[in-house]
Chains A and B, each alone.
Chain A
Amino acid sequence: MGDPPPDPEPPSQQPSSWRSSQTSQRRSWEVNQFQPSVSEEVQQIPLDGLDLQSSQGIPASQTNLRGWSSGASLTQPENLMYQPEEAPLGGLEYPSLNMGFPSELQPQPYLEEGESQATRTASLMLQQLQQGQGNLFQQLDSSYQPDLLGQFNMYQREDLQFDQGAQHGPYMRDDPTLQYTPSELGFMPFSMEVPEPEPRELAVQNAKAYLLQTSVSCSLSLYEHLVNLLTKILNQRPEDPLSILESLNRTTQWEWFHPKLDTMRDDPEMEPTYEMADRQRGLFLRSGAGGEGEQELEEEVVETAVPNIMETAFYLEQAGVGLSSDESFRIFMALKQLVEQQPIHTCRFWGKILGLSRSYLVAEVEFREGEEEAEEEEVEEMMESTEGMDAHGGEEEGEEDEEKVIDIIPKPMWKPPPIVPKEESRSGTNKYLYFVCQEPGRPWTRLPHVTPIQIVQARKIKKFFTGHLDAPVNSYPPFPGNEANYLRAQIARISAATHISPLGFYQFSEEEGDEEEEGGAGRDSYEENPDFEGIPVLELVDSMANWVHHTQHILPQGRCTWVNPLQKMEEEEELGEEEEKADEGMEEVEQEVGPPLLTPLSEDAEIMHMSPWTARLSCSLCPQYSVAVVRSNLWPGAYAYASGKKFENIYIGWGHKYSPDNFNPPLPAPIQQEYPRGPEVMEMSDPTVEEEQALKAAQEQALAAAEEEEEDEEEDEDEDLDD
């Protein structure tokens, strides 16, 4: 404020003169203020005093009224009370308070526009507190609530706080109107008998008052903030608090403005988490029977189709592969749920395929006999109906075109390559059914069977899975299907390439050993060998010949068993569709042969001088109890373990094959010919000038020659005639 603090003088020395001068100054000033400003709703306070209660609605303005206590005569200017506008302070019994200490320093919250306001208010409050006006202090303290402080911008008269003979402190206002003496105003100075606080204490109080102020933009005062911060530090007692002071500061401020929600409301951010937890809780509750207590303990343990996932997870964990144990347990419960919902004969956890926004958990499943056809038919009907609609649409358009256009549209010569038929369920690539789900607890979705063309196309593209089954697969060459089909195709490829078992676990069934059926397609079924003794782990790790594939290899055609596509084509032609000339003849299509079932891994092709499999012991420190782990280098993420008589395969990864070279997408096909080239379409080149002239010359020659002949003939005739 810039005022030099006056010397602290004992009150007795020149209180009266000071006081009187102050008083007069204030009053005169106030009178001056009052008279010109009647425009506001400020009431004129008669100097005789006014009921404070009536003046509660004082707006904040420069010429705010002071409430003069009723008993306050002009001789008691100190009875002017600060009248806060808020209701809570309406209960202030100002009159009584005024009466209460006529001889005390009136609580005159002296408010200025500026910093000195709260200072003096505070100092007054503190003084009152010292004087035992606890009541007032509480009430007035409430005035320091954040929302009230902002309204402290009323002018109060300085004299009201200083006329009790208290020390005016070092914060005197420099106001020319204060020069009036009370005698000019006609007021009598008030004589105070209250002891003034020490100058030091006053300084402290002023400082505290300064800290307690708030600004217009923020209702948090520095004092409160520091209190919060220090309380937090003292409660938590972090180590080396100085180094984290700034962070604590920021956090405390943030917490003030973001109070914790009350307990009755839910946190909106945690909604999805709670919902997922609810769903997973459903997994753990047994269906129907309710709690565990109701279960009869004598209930015999029924064999379930769900395998022992936890055991597999344990062994795979020894190998350093797999999901965490609680996740494995949740998968187990989810598989159990699947088994209950669908008529499943055998079931296995195939693995996890990672996607961009979500991942897929895949279960490999075999339905009970006969159950599957019902679902298959539904799926096929849907497919056919959509195809039928497309065909109808095509035919209609064709007819319209024919009606409108008289010319015959040239028929395209391109014929789509013959479609290789899909394999039957339960055989070849479609031997198992696959269900996927995003997270344990969510419903399982069935994947459709895979068609050979999908496998062929899947070999040509490389795309990440997004996590949504109905997402389109944008690629070149275009993939016939959406993400569900692509996923199924990749699963088929991975299964065919990486499902392995120790040699001897499976054997061919000892049936009619027809090895020459179907052109040597080989056996496609196997059964478990009851006499399997298990291969020592060390041997399993040493040589790849001890492992065999137990899934059929997929031929380049996209199937496991070869089918001549042209035979099918002939049948279609016989059915009488629009025929083209079928004289391409029987192209010689070579039968595709792949390695037969149960071939050992040592026969697998190498990748760039690198073996496609890597085998390790799970723990080199204790080989006696280790597990043999085999890892595929061709499909990163495919693992198999074997120990004793147990083995299992799993795949956790992105679902793509490893290739040491970059991925080169196939180039687009060459442009097709639009029309056959023939003389009627070919543009004849115009003859050049030389040619024309040559032609003309030749014609003239011919003409000349013809005339000569005629002349000769005529001559001959003439001669004949002459004769």
Chain B
Amino acid sequence: MDSESLLLSLELASGSGQGLSPDRRASLLTSLTLVKRDYRYSRVLFWGRILGLVADYYIAQGLSEDQLAPRKTLYSLNCMEWSLLPPATEEMAVETSVVKGRFMGDPSHEYEHTELQKMKEGEKVFEEEVVVQIKEENRLVSVINQIDKAVAVIPRGALFKTPFGPIHVNRTFEGLSLSEAKKLSSYFHFREPVELKNKTLLEKADLDPSLDFMDSLEHDIPKGSWSIQMERGNALVVLRSLLWPGLTFFHAPRTKNYGYIYMGTGEKNIDLPFML
């Protein structure tokens, strides 16, 4: 959610039960403004909160002019002092995929994972148990990256693409209408499109290239991994992801208010197919 409209967004996203205490909110308002100034971002988003056993991580992201460029991620333990996280890489993702369980809450904590590695000694090849240390910071980075790629949502029409290339925020976005807001096809993944080129020519002909340049949520696998609800007496549409429980996207139809926030344990719900 945008740091400019933090209070309103927090209130609209409160239907999932998780929010922020007043002291955290106050700290965020000041610190995010300072982050914007210091790092020279054009927009700062409060991404959410990952609950750990000992402490919680508060995550923010900074965007440059081009909305789909890779985002910079910052984390903080007290909503005041922010530290930049390294960008996510493939190796990090592979390395941290073996770690299961909750986050500890201490960025210097290291998980131990024993692996069987083949060691060669001379001509003998034998397997040895090697204990691999995985830093929690890396795990944090890759989890945030996965969540962004999988379930970050933006409504259709909020961003538009110019012929020069960069993607801009659409200042004339007036919100989705009520009938559009209830359909999953009006929401896009906030990431580089992956499936767009697989569409048939007929489908592509109906698309508007300046608005429909991202994947929509409609064809997510497994089907039904989004729960779409109207709250507050039909004045707010809330999308909750079932794959990453804790991600809430809200939008008030016919207004410009929209945003998403993740408040959860940072674990993927692998049991999703059993639960539907």
Q: Which residues of A contact B (CB under 8 A)?
A: 238, 243-244, 246-248, 251, 269-270, 272-273, 276-277, 279-280, 317-324, 327, 352, 354-359, 439, 441, 462-464, 467, 608, 610-611, 614, 618-622, 631, 633, 636-637, 652-654, 656, 658, 660, 662-663, 665
Contacts and interface: CB of A to CB of B under 8 A. Distances in A.
Given A327-B14, A464-B242, A317 B19 contact: yes
Nearest to B265: A636
B99 to A, nearest CB: 11
B210 interface: yes
Contacts of A462: 271, 274-275
B67 to A, nearest CB: 14
Given A619-B21, A621-B23, A652-B16, A663 B11 contact: no
Interface in B214-268: 224, 227-235, 240, 242, 245, 264-265
Contacts of A280: 233
Given A277-B233, A610-B53, A320 B16 contact: no
Interface in B17-40: 17-24
B21 A318 contact: yes
A276 B53 contact: no
B78 A620 contact: yes
B102 to A, nearest CB: 6
B119 interface: no
Contacts of B264: 636
Interface string B144-179: 000000000000000010000000101110100111
B17 A653 contact: yes
B105 to A, nearest CB: 9
Contact of B234 (A273, A611, A622, A653): A273
Nearest to A461: B274
29 contacts: A238-B171, A244-B172, A247-B172, A248-B172, A251-B174, A270-B178, A272-B230, A280-B233, A317-B19, A318-B21, A320-B21, A321-B17, A322-B17, A323-B15, A324-B19, A327-B232, A356-B227, A356-B242, A357-B227, A357-B228, A358-B229, A439-B231, A611-B53, A622-B23, A633-B53, A633-B102, A652-B18, A656-B275, A662-B270
B120 interface: no
Interface residues of B, number: 48
Contacts of B168: 243
Q: Which 4 residue pairs across A and B have the least CB separation, nearest first?
A: A652-B17, A276-B233, A663-B271, A273-B234
A318 B22 contact: yes
Given A320-B21, A358-B229, A619-B23, A464 B276 contact: yes
A438 B276 CA distance: 20
B100 interface: yes
A321 B240 CA distance: 17
Contacts of B51: 631
B177 A247 contact: no
Nearest to A323: B14
Given A243-B168, A354-B227, A619-B23, A662 B271 contact: yes
Nearest to A662: B270
A161 B47 CA distance: 70
B122 interface: no
Contacts of A277: 233
Contacts of A631: 51
Contacts of A276: 233-234
Contacts, number: 123
A463 B271 CA distance: 9
Contacts of A656: 275
Contacts of A319: 21
Contacts of B172: 238, 244, 247-248, 251
Contacts of B24: 320
Nearest to A611: B53
Given A247-B160, A276-B233, A321 B227 contact: no
B17 A352 contact: yes
Contacts of B274: 462-463, 663, 665
Contacts of A318: 21-22
Nearest to B173: A247
A622 B264 CA distance: 25
B83 to A, nearest CB: 18
A633 B104 CA distance: 12
Contact of B19 (A321, A660, A665): A321
Contact of B18 (A248, A321, A622): A321
A637 B17 contact: yes
Contacts of B275: 462-464, 656, 663
B209 to A, nearest CB: 11
Contacts of B20: 320
Nearest to A355: B227
Contacts of B160: 246-247
A327 B15 contact: yes
Given A317-B21, A614-B53, A631-B51, 20 more contacts: A238-B172, A243-B168, A318-B21, A318-B22, A319-B21, A320-B21, A323-B15, A324-B11, A356-B224, A359-B229, A610-B53, A620-B78, A621-B23, A622-B23, A636-B264, A636-B265, A652-B16, A654-B245, A660-B100, A662-B270
A258 B99 CA distance: 55
A610 B17 contact: no
A439 B233 CA distance: 8
A352 B204 CA distance: 42
B178 A322 contact: no
A435 to B, nearest CB: 19
A238 B160 CA distance: 17
A665 B273 CA distance: 11
Interface in B78-135: 78, 100-102
A323 B232 CA distance: 11
Contacts of B102: 610, 633
A656 B271 CA distance: 11
Contacts of A273: 178, 233-235
A637 B233 CA distance: 24
Contacts of B177: 269
A277 B22 CA distance: 29
A581 B51 CA distance: 58
Contact of B21 (A618, A636, A665): A618
Contacts of A636: 264-265
A277 B230 CA distance: 13
Contacts of B15: 323-324, 327, 359
A630 to B, nearest CB: 13
A357 B182 CA distance: 11
Contact of B16 (A354, A622, A658): A354
A571 to B, nearest CB: 39
Contacts of B224: 356
Contacts of A357: 227-229
A247 B170 contact: yes
A318 B232 CA distance: 23
Contacts of A614: 53
A323 B17 CA distance: 5
Contacts of A463: 274-276
Interface string B46-69: 000001010000000000000000
Contacts of A279: 233
Interface string B173-215: 0100111000000000000000000000000000000100000
Nearest to B80: A621
A50 B242 CA distance: 80
Which residue of A467, A614, A619, A662 has the most chain B CB atoms within 10 A of its CB atom?
A: A614
A280 B235 CA distance: 13
Contacts of B231: 359, 439
B271 to A, nearest CB: 4
Contacts of B18: 320-321, 652
A267 to B, nearest CB: 9
Contacts of B245: 654
A110 B34 CA distance: 68
Nearest to B78: A620
A562 B242 CA distance: 37
Nearest to B21: A320
A218 to B, nearest CB: 19
